[in-house]
Structure 1
C-alpha cells in the first residue's frame, strides 16, 4: 500500500448503524477511500450511547480523532473545556453556504467546533394518502382542520395519530403545536429566550388546549411505542397521521414506498412556515501526529463536497447542510425542505440543539407528565412548563 493512503488512515466513531444511516455513511466512506484514505470504522449503536462513549474515551486519554455528535450545548461544553479542536479546513465558504442558524450554532468563539453532516427537520406531518382519500379528506393546514380530520378518521375505526409514547416523541408533537399556534417569533421567545411573558401568555395556554385536544386521537397502545413502530402503523393504513422527523423516510423507503407519494408529507399545521432543525456533526480531537492531522482535514473536505452531501442525505432522508446543493435526486419532501431553509427566517433550532441539557430534560418531563395525565388542565400544564423552564433562568 502506498504511503499516501497509509497516511490517511482514520478512525471514525459514530452511531450510524441502521439501514438508511449506514447507507448514508457509506457514501462518505467510499468517497474518502476513493481518494486514497483508509477508514477504520468504530460504530456504537444509539446516539446517546455513542456520545457518552466518545466523551469517556476523551476523558480516559484515548480520544477518537473523529466522532459523531449533535450540534448543541453538549458539544459547546466540550469545546469550552478544550476537549475538541476547531474543525480543520473550515473556512469562510462555510459561512456562505450553511444556513445562518446552523453556522452560528456550530461555532464556539468564532470557530466551527463541528463539521455538520446533515439537517433533519422535526416538524413533519406524514400521512397515509390512500386513507385520506378514502375519507375524502384534504391535507389539514390548520389545527382546527386537523381536529376535524382526526374525528372523521376515528369514526371510521382508524387511529388518527400514530404516536410513540416516549417523552421525546411527545415533545415533538407539542413543539409542532407551539409553532402552529404561536408562530416562529413565539417559538423563539419560548425556546431561545425562555421568556417568562411568553410562557405565561394566552398563546401558550392555547397551545396546551390544542395539545390536550389531541389526546383522544391516540390509541391505548401508544405508551412505550418506538417511533418506527408508529411509522409502520401509518404505512399499513392502521393510522392516518404521524408527527415525526424526516428520518422516518428511511423506513418508508425500506418498505418500498415513496415519501411524498403513498406516504405524503407536509409540515405540521402552522401560522407561518418554519423548519425545526436538528443537526448531526462530526467533531475532532487534537491529532496525535501529522498523518492523523492530514487525515482529519481530508475527511472534512470529502464530507463537505457537494456530490457527497447530495448522496449521503438522499440515503438518510435528511437534507444537505450546504444550501448550494442541487435538488436533483431528492424526494418531494426533501425538495420542499431545501427550498424552505434558504430563507433564514424559517430556520428554528430544535430544543435539543438550542437548550442546555438540563433545560431540555425538564421540558421533556413536563410535557410527558401533562400528556399522560388527562386530569391535568391546560392551565395546569402551562404552569408546570413555566415553572420547569424558569427554574433554570
Structure 2
C-alpha cells in the first residue's frame, strides 16, 4: 500500500506541475498519442507503464505500440514516418540514429518545452549534444543508461569463494576461473551482435583507457587502431570467450540476465536496464545481486540512454500531445518512477533519488564527476559505421579469426566510415 500511495503521490505531483505550466489537456478531450517503443521485457514493460500512466493522468490518451527489438521498432517508426502514417512519438537511442530524420525535416522540434523546462541548464552536455541540432531540440531524453555494468549473483560468487569485487581486469578473469571451477557459467552472454559489441566496448573502455577509446571513436584515428594498445584490447576481449556457455549464441539479453538471477551464472556485462529484470524477479541490489561499473574507483562511466522523437505534423492536437509527452516524460516525479522500474538513472539531477537502489545511487554520484563521463560509441559515430564495426567484432568473437586480422578489419571499417 505504501508503494501505491507513493506512486499516486508522484503522479499527482506530475499533474500539478503540468497544470502550472498550463499544458494539461481538457478532461473531455484527451490528447491521443500513438507511441512506438521496443520495451517488451517484464522490467521494460513495467517501466514504460509509468510514463503511460502519468501521461493519461495528465489529460492524454496513451496508445501503446510496442515492437519487439530495437532495430525493428526503429524501422517501423521510420517506415511509418516516410509513408505518411507517422506515430506521435517514437523511441530511439541517445545517439545519431535519428539525425537523418532531422536533416530531412521530418521531426518537430521541442524548443518551447526545452525553454520552459530549462533543459540547457539541467541535462548533461553529452545528452544535449545528441538531442540538439542547428540550435534546436529534436528529442526528449528519458533516461541515462550505462551500458557496461557488471552484474553478479551473490549466491554464485559465494559458492565460488570470491570475497570482493575485482579491481583490475586480471582480477576479473581470475574470478571467472573460480566461477568455472565451481561448476557455474562464469559469464552469461547473449550471443547477439549488439551484445557482443557492448561487451567489447566495456573491455575497451577499461583495458584500453579513455584516451585510446576517444581516439578511435571520436577522432576515428586509424593509427590508434593499429597500435599495440588496441591489439591488447582485442586480445583481452577474446579471452572472455572461454567463459561463456554453449547456449550463448542467439540468446536474448534478458534470458542471460535470468541465468544470473537464478544463480546458474556468475556475471553478466550489460546495461543497467538489466536491473529491471532483477526487480521483476523481486531481487534486491546489494542483497541478492551486486553491481559495479568497472574496475577501480576511476573507471569510465559510459553514458547511453533513450530518447523519444516527434514526427513532423501541423495538426495542433498532435503538437500539443507531443509537447505534453515531452513534458511528462522528463518531469522529476515521472523520471524517478520510471527509473525505479527501468534500472536507469534520471535524466536530470534535481530529483529525489532516495527510493532508488544502490546501483542507481552509485551511477548518480559518478555522473557528478564529469571526468568519468564517457559517451557511448553511438553518440560519436553514425549508425552505418557502428554497424560496420559491430560486424567486425561479432566476426572476431564467433569465428576462428586472428587478432591481427581483426585489427586490420577494424581499421579498414573505421577508415571507410562504414
Q: TM-score, normalised by structure 1?
A: 0.93
Distance 1:98 1:217, change over 3 A: same
After TM superposition, give the deviation of residue 345 of structure 1 in Å: 2.5
After TM superposition, give the deviation of residue 144 of structure 1 in Å: 0.7
Q: Are 1:7 and 1:291, in contact at CA under 8 Å, matched by a contact in 2?
A: no
- What secondary structure, in the 3-state scheme, does the structure 2 residue paired with 1:323 have? coil
**Which residue does the alignment assign to 2:135?**
110
Of stretches 341-350 and 191-200 in structure 1, the one that deviates more from structure 2 is 341-350
Aligned counterparts of 2:323 and 2:182: Cα–Cα separation in 1: 57
Is residue 2:287 matched to residue 1:261?
yes
After TM superposition, give the deviation of residue 142 of structure 1 in Å: 0.7
After TM superposition, give the deviation of residue 293 of structure 1 in Å: 2.1
Is residue 2:159 matched to residue 1:129?
no
Aligned counterparts of 2:28 and 2:72: Cα–Cα separation in 1: 31
Matches within 5 A, 1:154-173: 154-173=180-199
After TM superposition, give the deviation of residue 7 of structure 1 in Å: 5.6
2:113 aligns with one of 82, 89, 107: 89
Matches within 5 A, 1:63-212: 63-87=86-110, 88-91=112-115, 93-137=118-162, 138-212=164-238
After TM superposition, give the deviation of residue 174 of structure 1 in Å: 1.0
Q: After superposition, what is the alpha-carbon deviation per residue over 1:151-205, rounded to whole angstroms, capped at 9, x for unaligned? A: 2222222221111111111111111111111222221111111112211112111
**Which residue does the alignment assign to 2:382?**
356
Q: Are 2:92 and 2:309, in contact at CA under 8 Å, matched by a contact in 1?
A: yes
Of stretches 312-321 and 28-37 in structure 1, the one that deviates more from structure 2 is 28-37
**Which residue does the alignment assign to 2:407?**
382
- What secondary structure, in the 3-state scheme, does the structure 2 residue paired with 1:140 have? coil
After TM superposition, give the deviation of residue 4 of structure 1 in Å: 5.2
Aligned counterparts of 2:238 and 2:381: Cα–Cα separation in 1: 24
1:224 aligns with one of 247, 250, 267: 250
1:236 aligns with one of 248, 262, 272: 262
**Which residue does the alignment assign to 1:276?**
302
Aligned counterparts of 2:240 and 2:296: Cα–Cα separation in 1: 16
**Which residue does the alignment assign to 1:319?**
345
**Could you say what the CA RMSD is over the residues aligned between the two structures, in angstroms?**
2.0
**Which residue does the alignment assign to 2:18?**
none
Q: Are 2:279 and 2:341, in contact at CA under 8 Å, matched by a contact in 1?
A: no
Q: Which runs of 5+ in 1 are unaligned?
A: none
Aligned counterparts of 1:3 and 1:142: Cα–Cα separation in 2: 57
Q: Are 1:183 and 1:270, in contact at CA under 8 Å, matched by a contact in 2?
A: no
1:62 aligns with one of 82, 85, 104: 85
Q: TM-score, normalised by structure 2?
A: 0.88
Of stretches 250-259 and 326-335 in structure 1, the one that deviates more from structure 2 is 250-259
Q: After superposition, what is the alpha-carbon deviation per residue over 1:16-46, rounded to whole angstroms, capped at 9, x for unaligned? A: 3332222222222222222222333333333
Q: Are 2:93 and 2:307, in contact at CA under 8 Å, matched by a contact in 1?
A: yes
**Which residue does the alignment assign to 1:369?**
395
Q: Are 1:89 and 1:301, in contact at CA under 8 Å, matched by a contact in 2?
A: yes
Aligned counterparts of 2:37 and 2:48: Cα–Cα separation in 1: 9
**Which residue does the alignment assign to 2:360?**
334
Q: Are 1:189 and 1:198, in contact at CA under 8 Å, matched by a contact in 2?
A: yes
Please list every run of at least 4 consecutive aligned residues from structure 1 whose deviation after the TM superposition is greater than 6 angstroms: none
**Which residue does the alignment assign to 2:72?**
49
- Number of residue pairs the alignment of both structures matches: 391
After TM superposition, give the deviation of residue 376 of structure 1 in Å: 2.8
Q: After superposition, what is the alpha-carbon deviation per residue over 1:283-318, rounded to whole angstroms, capped at 9, x for unaligned? A: 112333222222222222222210111111111111
Aligned counterparts of 2:61 and 2:238: Cα–Cα separation in 1: 53
Q: Are 1:127 and 1:234, in contact at CA under 8 Å, matched by a contact in 2?
A: yes
Distance 1:270 1:360, change over 3 A: farther
Aligned counterparts of 1:203 and 1:297: Cα–Cα separation in 2: 47
Aligned counterparts of 1:61 and 1:99: Cα–Cα separation in 2: 34
After TM superposition, give the deviation of residue 349 of structure 1 in Å: 2.4
Distance 1:192 1:253, change over 3 A: same
